[in-house]
Structure 1
Amino acid sequence: MRALVLCSGGIDSSTCLALAVDKYGKDNVVALSMSYGQKHKKEIESAEKICKYYGVELYKLDLKKIFQYSNCSLLENSTESIPKETYAKQLEKTHSQPVSTYVPFRNGLFLSSAASFALSKDCDVIYYGAHADDAAGNAYPDCSEAFNNAMNTAIYEGSGKKLKIEAPFIKENKAGVVKKGLELKVPYELTWSCYEGKDEPCLKCGTCIDRMKAFELNGTVDPLLKNSIN
């Protein structure tokens, strides 16, 4: 069995990578990172660090042109600012529509592209880090269990029943992801989640807030924040 891991350099994908390496061994795992016109390169840099740590080969795919007409606030061509509040507060304003940092059908595009790549690399399974917190309230609809099941069926059938999707955290919250990662000793100090590309996490965007809370619920401090706290 060979696995392809969608690696963005964040907590979720890095934990997926650790799971895949633990299950299949690093020689049977490859990683794929996507550029999509995001405002900064921190997540790509983190993906490189994580893959180097695990000794896994990282491939890169540029999908920037596909999102050139989107005004998603994560993208470099956007006129929108990244919200500095929880996803719950954002959803109150959007009336349960996707938040402004939702990149249109990004996971669908990522998984479809990854399927073609995975088949070319003789992989049997694609790992990606969708989890329940991101799907909650329809913030990121392409992280939901229903979406995952539909994509899994499409990719399985479309690949001649050779390839499937594994989303190990689809029913877990962020704290559950971190719990598993701590058990696997994932080097979270190498990861990056913040939507801003500065030297330090902003601690105010939705993903920063979720990340801090996830570590707190596991009775520990995010290693990215330990130096600023001490």
Structure 2
Amino acid sequence: MKQKVVVIYSGGMDSFTVLHRAIEEGFEVYALSFNYGQRHQRELEYARRVCEQLALPHLITDITAINVLLQGSSLTSDDIDVAEGHYSADNMKSTVVPNRNMILLSLAVGYAVSIGADQVFYGAHSGDHTIYPDCRPEFVHAMNDVTRIANFEAVEIVSPFLEQNKIDILRWGLERGLNYADTWTCYNGRERACGKCGSCVERLEAFEHNRTTDPLPYE
């Protein structure tokens, strides 16, 4: 019998790669997506479609009620413009959603316990360490300390690319023939990706370093 795992799956390229890595490693994957009142739903649409194609169990959980508690980020507040530029720029801190990963991981751990899974995968990577405290190794290690004692059933938080960057993540996926047209990364939810927000800039940089072209259309 395969070991069950929960994969937090946003529909972006990082979680898309993590999803496929968990599948490749032979786990029985349960995908979990969250609607927390983020700026748009494009990523969730991509997540739904991919899980349907792969015939994976997939929950999109509506937690939009917490949006009022997570203001002050350009990803949750309509009155704050999405910052443009590279993640190394200080202005990208406007994309930080307060305590997001701790909240989402806590819910995912609860789901894991309920279905008998003992691991939760999420797509933190080294490119996020500067801007996002809840993607740093010390956060992941601390969350693992907590999840070991929070329930009678210990659950491990797994971040397969924690010490690698988006370039490495994309390389791993390309080597396995993954189709990144099935992912959405842009912080803006328009018909085409903007190419200017931090998420787009980092994504395009990853494709450039891997000497290939991003299949998504850009403005």
Q: Establish whether TM, by shorter chain, passes 0.5.
A: yes
Alpha-carbon deviation of 1:161?
4.9
Give the stretch that moved more between structures: 160-169 or 142-151: 160-169
Equivalent residues in 2 for 1:200-219 (5 A)?
Answer: 200-219=192-211
Give the stretch that moved more between structures: 215-224 or 111-120: 215-224
Query: Residues 71 and 79 of structure 1 are in contact (CA less than 8 Å); yes or no, is this contact kept in structure 2?
Result: no
- After superposition, the C-alpha distances for 1:137-168 in whole angstroms (9 at most, x for unaligned) are xx111010110111111112223353111100
Query: Residues 129 and 169 of structure 1 are in contact (CA less than 8 Å); yes or no, is this contact kept in structure 2?
Result: yes
When the two structures are superposed, what TM-score results if normalisation uses the length of structure 1? 0.89
Partner of 2:177: 185
Matches of 1:190 and 1:156, distance apart in 2: 34
| Structure 1 residues without counterparts, runs of 5 or longer | none
Establish whether residue 72 from structure 1 lines up as the match of residue 66 from structure 2.
no
CA gap 1:184/1:156 in 2 versus in 1, 3 angstroms: farther
Matches of 1:8 and 1:146, distance apart in 2: 22
Partner of 1:131: 125
Any idea what SS the aligned residue of 1:219 has? Answer: coil
Equivalent residues in 2 for 1:85-164 (5 A)?
Answer: 85-89=85-89, 91=90, 93=91, 99-136=93-130, 139-164=131-156
Matches of 2:177 and 2:121, distance apart in 1: 19
Any idea what SS the aligned residue of 1:47 has? Answer: helix
Partner of 2:5: 3
Query: Residues 13 and 183 of structure 2 are in contact (CA less than 8 Å); yes or no, is this contact kept in structure 1?
Result: yes
Runs of 4+ in 1 over 3 A off after TM superposition: none
Query: Residues 3 and 24 of structure 1 are in contact (CA less than 8 Å); yes or no, is this contact kept in structure 2?
Result: no
Partner of 1:59: 59
Alpha-carbon deviation of 1:78?
3.3
Matches of 1:33 and 1:182, distance apart in 2: 23
Give the stretch that moved more between structures: 63-72 or 14-23: 63-72
| Structure 2 residues without counterparts, runs of 5 or longer | none
When the two structures are superposed, what TM-score results if normalisation uses the length of structure 2? 0.93
After superposition, the CA RMSD in angstroms is 1.6
Letter in 2 for 1:14: F
Alpha-carbon deviation of 1:54?
2.1
Alpha-carbon deviation of 1:187?
2.0
| Correspondent of 2:213 among 215, 221, 225 | 221
- After superposition, the C-alpha distances for 1:17-71 in whole angstroms (9 at most, x for unaligned) are 001111125xx11100001111211011011122123221110212222231412
